[in-house]
Structure 1
Amino acid sequence: MNLDTLPIAAIATAPGRGGIGVVRASGKNLKPLAQALFNGVELKPRHATYIPFKQADGTLIDQGIAIYFKGPHSYTGEDVLELQGHGGPVVLQMLLQRVLEAGHDVGLRLAEPGEFTRRAYMNDKLDLAQAEAVADLIDASTEAAAKSASQSLSGAFSQAIHALVERVTHLRMLVEATLDFPEEEIDFLEKSDARGQLRGIVESVDHVFRQASQGALLREGLNVVLVGQPNVGKSSLLNALAGADVAIVTPIAGTTRDKVSETIQIEGIPLNIIDTAGIRSHDEAVDIVERIGIERTWGEVGKADVILHMLDANHGPTRADESILAAFPAGVPVLRIWNKIDLSGHKPSIDASDDATHIYLSAHDHTGIDLLRKELLRIAGWQQTGESLYLARERHLIALKSTARHLDRAEEHAAQTDQSLDLFAEELRLAQVQLSTITGAFSSDDLLGVIFSRFCIGK
C-alpha cells in the first residue's frame, strides 16, 4: 500500500497551551471521516460549523468549529478537514486520537513532518520554493525575514525564476533550430542577436542572485563570536549590543564559564552573538570547569562567521592577546575591539589598517557601539536596496551560481569563430536544469525528503 495516498491527520498548532488548537486531516475523500465524527451531519464546504466533538460513545471532548475544504480547493489540493477547538494539549491529543480512530477504516494515519505542505507541492498548489517559504515564514526571527518569506510564499521568487527559465528556453529553441537546419546559411548569432540575449540573461541571473543572497542573510543571520582574555568586557559588549543584561557582568575574571548566546537585530539582520569563556592558558585556569569552558570557546570560534577579538584599551596589547590572535582560523573576518576607552582616554573610532580592522569603544558607556554595528553590516554584505528580497536558502544560491557558470561557458562558445552551437546549446540546457531545481521542476526524491523532514508536524 502506498502511504502517500492514505489520508493523514495531525495537530496543526504549536505544542503547549493556547486559546485555540487545530487538528487537521487531509485525503482524497474525507466525507466518510466527517460523517463518522459528526453522526452523519453534512458539512457544507468552506463554511464554519459550530459543533460538538465527541468520543465514539458520545462522551463530549470539546465544542468547536469544523471546516471542510473540498479538493482541489484546499491547501493540500485534497479534501481537508479542520477541527478548531480549545488549545489545551490534552484536549487536542484526545481529539486527534478520536479523528484517527474514526478514520481507521479509510487508512487514516498520523502525518509526518511537513507532509501537508509536501502534498500541496505534489498536487501543484505550491512549487518547491514556495513550500520552503512556508517553513521560513514560521521560523522567521525578524520582521524583515518574515516580509521576505511572505514575498517568496506569494510566488515572487518563483516568478523571477520562471521568467529566467523562459528566456533560456527561448534562446535554446533558436540555437537548436539552427542545429536542425544547418543547410540554411544564416549567421544565427548575428541575426537573432543571440549574444545580446545571452548577455541580458546573465545580467538578470546576477541580479536575482544578489537579491537572493541578501534574503539568505535575513534567513540565516551572522554568527558573531566574542573572544578574548578574562575581564576584557566581552559580556558587557554582549549586553550593549543586545540592549539588555543577558550576561552576568562582575569585576571578577572568569565569570563567564560557558557560552551565552543572544540573537539581536541590526537593520533587520539577525546576528547570533555568542559570548565565550575568557581564554587563558591551562596553567592559569583555576579549575576543570574553566578549562572546559575555554575548550568550548575554541569550538565556537571554529563555527564563527565573524570573530570579535576583545582587548583592553586601558592596558594595551599583551603577549597573550597576540597568542589568541595567532590561533584564529584563516579566512574568518576578525575585528579587534579595543574596549574600555572610557578609562584609556581614546576616542571612539574605527581604523581599517592593512593587518586588521580596529574599533575603539566603551561597552560600559555604549560609546562607539554604532561603529561596530555598521562594520558588522559591512562584513555581512548588507545593502539597503529598497527592493523586495527573496528569503533564499543555500541550495538556491548554489543553483544560481551553477547557472551563472553554465551561462559563462555558453558565452565562451558563442565567442568562438566556429560558433560551437552544439556546445552552446548544451550549456543553455544545463543552465535551465539548474534554474528548474529551485522551483522543483527537476528535483530528486532524496532532496524532497530532506526539505520536508525539517518542517514541523502538522504543517
Structure 2
Amino acid sequence: MLTGDDTISAIATAIGEGGIGIVRISGRKAVTIANKLFISKTGMQTTNIVSHQVVYGEIVDPASGETVDEVLLIIMRAPHSYTREDVVEIHCHGGPVPLKRILDLTLILGSRLAEPGEFTKRAFLNGRLDLAQAEAVIDIIRAKTDASLKTAVGNLSGHLSTEIKHLRYNILSMIAQLEAAIDFPEEDIEEAAAADVAQLIVKAKADIDKLLATAQTGRILREGLATVIIGKPNVGKSSLLNALLREKRAIVTDIPGTTRDIIEEYVNIRGIPLKIIDTAGIRETADVVERIGVEKAKELINQADLILLLLDASEPLAPEDRAILELLSGQQAIILVNKSDLPSLLDFAEIEQHIGSRMVVKMSVTQGDGLAELEEKIANLVYGGHVSQGEAAFVNNVRHADALRHTNQRLAEALLTIEDGMPPDCVVVDLRAAWEKLGGITGDTVGEDIIDQIFTQFCIGK
C-alpha cells in the first residue's frame, strides 16, 4: 500500500533555539523543491547530488534572490530513506526564524505541511516498518531512562514483531491442518488433526502468556511507575522527593502542611522511570487550600501503582498514621520509617498489625540512609521474575497487551471447541479470529481509523 503523490514537509527538530534545526521534505517533488532553493558552494546541481551525501551551501529565496541561511543538505533517494520516498533534509541554524522561513519556502514551492507522525506513517504504509515498530519510534522519542530507551529500541528492531509473526504463522498452520481435514473427509483424519491442533494451541497460549508477563513492566518502562509519597505533615515527604531527585525541588520547612499542592516529577531509579508525586500531608485541617490537597492525595492513592508511606520513627503512631494505613488496603506499598537516626518511639508491633507482609525500610532521609535499599526494593518489584529489558520481546503498549489478551481468549475458546468434539470448521472460526487479533499488533489486519489514531500521537516532523 503506497502513499499518494503529494509531497510533505515539516520542521523535524524541537521548537526553540538550538545549534541545528532540520526541515524535512518527503515525496515525489522533494528533490525538485530542494533544487529551486539550494545553491551548493561548489556549484553542484541538486539533481546530481549523490544519495546520503552531505553538501554545504545556501538556501536562497527564488523570488527575491535573498540568502536565507547557510545550510547542509542531504538527499536520501527512494527507496533507501526513512519513508521509502525521496527525502530531503535541510540542516540550518536552529532558530525559529530561519526554520520557519525555509519551511514556508518549501510550502510555496509545492509541498504541504505534514500531519503529526506522517513521515513515520508513510514508512509504515510503504512497508519499511510494521505498526509495532512504528509505535516504537514514539517510545524512543519519549523514553525517560536508559531502560525504557533500550526496550523501545528493541521493539523498533523487531523483537516483538518477530514473536507476533511467528505466532501468526503457527496459528495459520493450525488452520491449514484443520482445513485439510475438512477438505478430505474420506481420509478420516479429523480427530487426529484436532488432537494435534489442541497441543499447538496450548503451546501458543503459553508463548502469549510469556509475552503478557512482560506487559506490566513494559508499561512502567514506557509510561513510568505512578508513585505517591504520603504521610502526615512534616514527616519528610518533600525531603525524600529531593533525595530521590538529587536536587531541591520541593519546599522543605519545619512548618506542618508546607506542601499544599501536588508536586510531580520523573525520577530514574535503576532504569525505572518513577512518576513520583509528593502530596500534601494527610491530616484534618481547616485550611481550605490544604484540605483540597489532602483530598487530592487520597484520590491519587487509588490511582497509584506504588505508594511510599513515610512514618516518623521518633514519634508514636499517630491517628493520622493509622488513618493512612487504613487507606492502603489492597494497594502496593512500601513503608518507610524515617528519622531512624533519632531515638525510636514507634511501636513496630502495632505497625505489623496494620501492614502484614508489606516491605518496611528503615531510613534517615537527611543522612541518606536507606535510599539504596529503597531503590533495590522498587527495582525488584518492577523487574522481579522477568527478563532484562532489551534482551527479548517486551510488551510495553496497552494496545498490544489488549490484543494479546483477546488472542488468548479466542485460543481458549478454540481449545474448548475441540474438547467438546465440535467440527473442525467451528475451531477454524476461533483460530482465524485469534490470527486477526495478532495482525492488529503489526498492522496487517488493523483498520484505517486505528492507524490514524496511532499516528496523531506523534509530533509534527516525525
**Secondary structure class of the residue paired with 1:86:** strand
Q: 1:74 aligns with which of 74, 81, 94?
A: 81
* 1:396 corresponds to which of 374, 396, 400: 400
Q: Show the counterpart of 1:62.
A: 69
Paired residues of 1:230 and 1:280 also in contact (CA < 8 A): yes
Asked if 1:50 is matched to 2:50, the reply is no
Note the C-alpha offset of 1:191.
Answer: 8.8
**C-alpha distance in 2, partners of 1:420/1:266?**
54
TM superposition shift of 1:422: 2.5
| Structural mapping, 1:412-431, within 5 Å | 412-416=416-420, 418-431=421-434
Q: Following the alignment from structure 1 to structure 2, what is the Cα–Cα distance between the partners of residues 110 and 323?
A: 56
SS of residue paired to 1:343: coil
Deviates more, 1:123-132 or 1:301-310: 301-310
Of residues 369, 372, 396, the one that matches 2:374 is 372
Q: Distance in 1 between the 2:124 and 2:142 partners? A: 19
| CA distance in 2 between partners of 1:272 and 1:252 (Å) | 26
1:126 aligns with 2:129: yes
Q: Is the 8 A contact 1:114 1:454 kept in 2?
A: yes
1:274 is matched with which residue? 277
The 5 Å alignment of 1:39-438 reads 41-46=46-51, 47-56=53-62, 57-103=64-110, 108-189=111-192, 193-283=196-286, 285=287, 288-327=288-327, 331-345=330-344, 354=356, 356-380=358-382, 382-383=384-385, 385-386=387-388, 387-390=391-394, 392-416=396-420, 418-438=421-441
Q: Judging changes above 3 Å, is the alpha-carbon distance between structure 1 residues 421 and 372 closer, same or farther for their aligned structure 2 residues?
A: same
Give me the whole-angstrom Cα distance separating, in 2, the residues matched to 1:121 and 1:78: 12
For residue 226 of structure 1, report the CA deviation from its aligned partner.
0.9
- Quote how far apart the aligned CAs of 1:362 are: 2.3
Q: TM-score, normalised on structure 1?
A: 0.89
Equivalents in 1 of 2:17, 2:195: separation in Å? 64
In structure 2, C-alpha distance between the alignment counterparts of 1:180 and 1:297, rounded to whole Å: 64
Q: Tell me the distance in 2 between the aligned counterparts of 1:331 and 1:54.
A: 65
Asked if the contact 2:219–2:398 (Cα under 8 Å) also holds between the matched residues in 1, the reply is yes
Task: Measure the CA separation in 1 of the matches of 2:345 and 2:240.
Answer: 17
Give the drift of 1:389.
4.6
SS in 2 for 1:42: helix
Give the aligned length: 447
- State the one-letter code of the partner of 2:399: R
Task: Determine what percentage of the aligned residue pairs are the same residue.
Answer: 40
Retained in 1: the 8 A contact 2:235–2:311?
A: yes
Contact 1:114 1:458 in 2 (8 A): yes
Tell me the CA shift for residue 310 of structure 1: 2.2
Q: TM-score, normalised by structure 2?
A: 0.89
Structure 2 unaligned residues grouped into runs of 5+:
40-44
Aligned letter for 1:280?
Answer: R
Structure-2 separation of matches of 1:402 and 1:6: 38
Secondary structure of the structure 2 residue equivalent to 1:149? helix
Q: Quick one: structure 1 residues 325 and 5, their matched pair in 2 at CA, closer, same or farther if it must change by over 3 Å?
A: farther
For the 8 Å contact 2:315–2:344, the answer to whether it is kept is no
Corresponding residue SS for 1:22? strand
- Give the whole-Å Cα distance in 2 for the aligned partners of 1:131 and 1:360: 45
CA contact (8 A) 1:215 1:389 kept: no
Kindly state the Cα deviation for residue 267 of structure 1 after the two structures are TM-superposed. 2.4
Report the Cα offset of residue 26 of structure 1.
1.0
Q: Tell me by how many angstroms 1:55 deviates.
A: 1.1
> RMSD value over aligned CA atoms?
2.6
AA aligned opposite 2:332: P
Determine the C-alpha separation between the residues in 1 that align with 2:395 and 2:426: 34
